[in-house]
Structure 1
Amino acid sequence: MHLDRSGFDCQDLLTSPMPTALTTPAYANELFARQRPDRPVALVAYCAAAPLAVAMAALLAGPAGPVPIVLLDPQQTPPSEILHEYHEVVRQVEGRAPNVERPQLLDIEGLLATPETLVKRIGEDLRLRARLALAAFGFGDADVSGPVEGVVGVYVEWLTFLVAAHHDEQPAPRGPILQVISQGHPADAGWLGATDLRTVRVSCDRPELAADAEARAAVLDFLHGITAGVSTETKGEEQNVQADLVTETELALARMWADVLGVDVVGRGDNFFDLGGDSMLATRLVLSARRAWNVDFSVRVLVDSPVLKDLADRIDVLVGAATTGSRR
């Protein structure tokens, strides 16, 4: 929501590697122990992260009282949601592979009662599907071991988070909460048990919620009320400047993107996933990049730096490090 442009120092708590705990309170405790964040003005969470925000707010509360929370389209995580996301992950992992063998889907709802077993089975299932899909493109086990672990790791982290969000066993929030909801989202947040809840509905769909001007204005109004007397004047909107490709690495990488994604034009400010990239296309790109630059390049690097110019910079750093090491 670009809250930093209005004077707020923003910190992302959900960073990789994400926690492995399988209940919401334990997940929050692992995050807290790892980062030991200072008490924030407020916590901001999206959709299924709502219970996690409540748990983190309880851990961060102190003499100043409860930590306020901003929730964007808050929702619970029922078994059906985890099942839906598992099916979506399977679709992305198998990608566009021709005539790929498709193992039987896991019984997600049946395994939820034993979350440790469920997460282990998900990892095994996705690794198998990724290997089968890449084999259909002619890649053998020797080529795909690292990339498969990278892409599967990202999805296992996501599904582990959802399993933890499903096992939400904690007291109701005590501080003020603003929920900003998109059109069509149910306004009933009774499942949170909040006693100090303000609701603002905006006229956009969920995918646009975090970028919606009306939603941003509602959040800033809430935060300004919390920080009364603290200057939060707008610093001025930054421009997204898109320049021509400027380095040899950017040029070579853009050609790879165009080939893998099937697009004609790639700019240095383009995002791989916004252009239609998915996990299997990412893995194909990684394999091509490893061959081109002879570096230990992983899917995680692409996930962390999906913008072309940023990814080119990361590759240059990897190439430089490999060159330096070979000279020793």
Structure 2
Amino acid sequence: MSDNPLLLILDYPGRRPEAHISELHLDRSGFECQEVLTSPMPTVLTTPAYARELFARLGPDRPVALVAYCATAPLAVAMAALLAGPAGPVPIVLLDPQQTPPSEILHEYHEVVRQVEGRAPNVERPPLLDIERLLATPETLVRRIGEDLRLRARLALAAFGFGDADVSGPVENVVGVYVEWLTFLVSAHHDEQPPPRGPVLQVISQGHPADAGWLGATDLRTVRVPCERPELAANDQARAAVLEFLHGVARPVPADGGVRERNAQADPLTDTELALARMWAEVLGVDAVGRGDNFFDLGGDSMLATRLVLSARRTWNVEFNVRVLVDTPVLKDLAGRIDVLVDASNSGSRR
């Protein structure tokens, strides 16, 4: 267990154009950072209930602060209330905090539909759900979203010649990821709780509204950073503002670790890397793939990922799903995961 002050990080996982809180590299300044939003995600549909499920997973160490991004702001407030004790309220750092109105859930649902249907040619497209009407019954909304996305995924994959027998597992995997995301947004929308009692710092990008009155914080400090939203969590001024605030909470021990060098985009080395690189090139429509390349940086999306997983499962006769690709999107790392699965499968067959 680290002796460094503990920070709880509330940042929804997964690929997005905006930088993640991890890119603030607070661990290099002597903090221990614990990601709170990890799989399996809660399935409850209000912010207080979501916070209680996450709180139940925490260890005994009390954090010196919570750091949250965007729509996780209400969740950070709810968790800070649960963590408050004799030592007083837990401070909160918010990056571009925002509420989750119906329009945001509607926008994200449309974006998920676009991802699921992908590049399928002439795919049948069922009518879109009436998200705003269904929000009044969140359990029904989440169930309908799951049914809707499963249907769209099957129709999209059928357009590429995959039958139900091939796609059942992969469809459940990819739809499950999107349903988790939309469930989180529904829970963030249903937010009824007391305002934060401790100090709150909001670090906001240019163009982001500074009015955070909806938080109800009585000790709110605001720092605006001259950058666009996608760069906020990777911005040096944002990092400096966060550290200045945190250093007023706890004096961390300076970390010795330096910046790791980025993996070189070298040519694939192993047989698995070579075979996987050929699959990536075919699925993504690119000429060459390096062992340090990221599937999603090369243009991959959820449906292309599903196609890749189906092809890989046929080639190596191993069971893995889209989440493995999401968690290990770099070619050499994914090839290593496949080698482990193949070795385990071969060991099992020899028993």
TM-score range, shorter chain: over 0.9
Aligned partner of 2:118 in structure 1 is: 95
1:223 aligns with 2:246: yes
Q: Is the 8 A contact 1:151 1:279 kept in 2?
A: yes
1:17 aligns with 2:54: no
Match for residue 345 of structure 2 among 304, 318, 322:
322
CA-CA distance at 1:233 after TM superposition: 5.1
Amino acid at match of 1:14: L
Greater mean alpha carbon deviation, residues 105-114 or residues 310-319? 310-319
SS for the counterpart of 2:97 is coil
Amino acid at match of 1:310: D
Trace 1:206-245 onto structure 2 (pairs within 5 A).
206-228=229-251, 230-232=252-254, 235-242=257-264, 244=266, 245=268
Aligned partner of 2:13 in structure 1 is: none
- Label 1:82 to 1:37 Cα distance change in 2 as closer, same or farther (>3 A): farther
Give, in whole Å, the separation in 2 of the partners of 1:255 and 1:56: 46
1:135 aligns with 2:158: yes
Aligned partner of 1:7 in structure 2 is: 30
Structure 1-normalised TM-score? 0.96
1:296 aligns with 2:319: yes
Trace 1:143-292 onto structure 2 (pairs within 5 A).
143-228=166-251, 230-232=252-254, 235-242=257-264, 244=266, 245-292=268-315
Aligned partner of 1:111 in structure 2 is: 134
Aligned partner of 1:26 in structure 2 is: 49
CA-CA distance at 1:19 after TM superposition: 0.4
SS for the counterpart of 1:16 is coil
| Residue ranges of structure 2 left out of the alignment (5+ in a row) | 1-23
1:44 aligns with 2:62: no
Structure 2-normalised TM-score? 0.90
Give, in whole Å, the separation in 1 of the partners of 2:241 and 2:287: 39
Q: Is the 8 A contact 2:265 2:293 kept in 1?
A: no
Greater mean alpha carbon deviation, residues 65-74 or residues 27-36? 27-36
SS for the counterpart of 1:179 is strand
Give, in whole Å, the separation in 1 of the partners of 2:339 and 2:209: 47
Percent of residue pairs bearing the same amino acid type: 84
Aligned partner of 1:124 in structure 2 is: 147
Tell me the alpha carbon deviations over residues 172-218 of structure 1, each in whole angstroms, 9 at most, x when there is no partner: 00111111111100001100001111111111111111111111111
Q: Is the 8 A contact 2:27 2:255 kept in 1?
A: no
Greater mean alpha carbon deviation, residues 147-156 or residues 304-313? 304-313
Give, in whole Å, the separation in 2 of the partners of 1:234 and 1:221: 19
CA-CA distance at 1:102 after TM superposition: 0.3
Give, in whole Å, the separation in 2 of the partners of 1:23 and 1:66: 22
Greater mean alpha carbon deviation, residues 141-150 or residues 234-243? 234-243
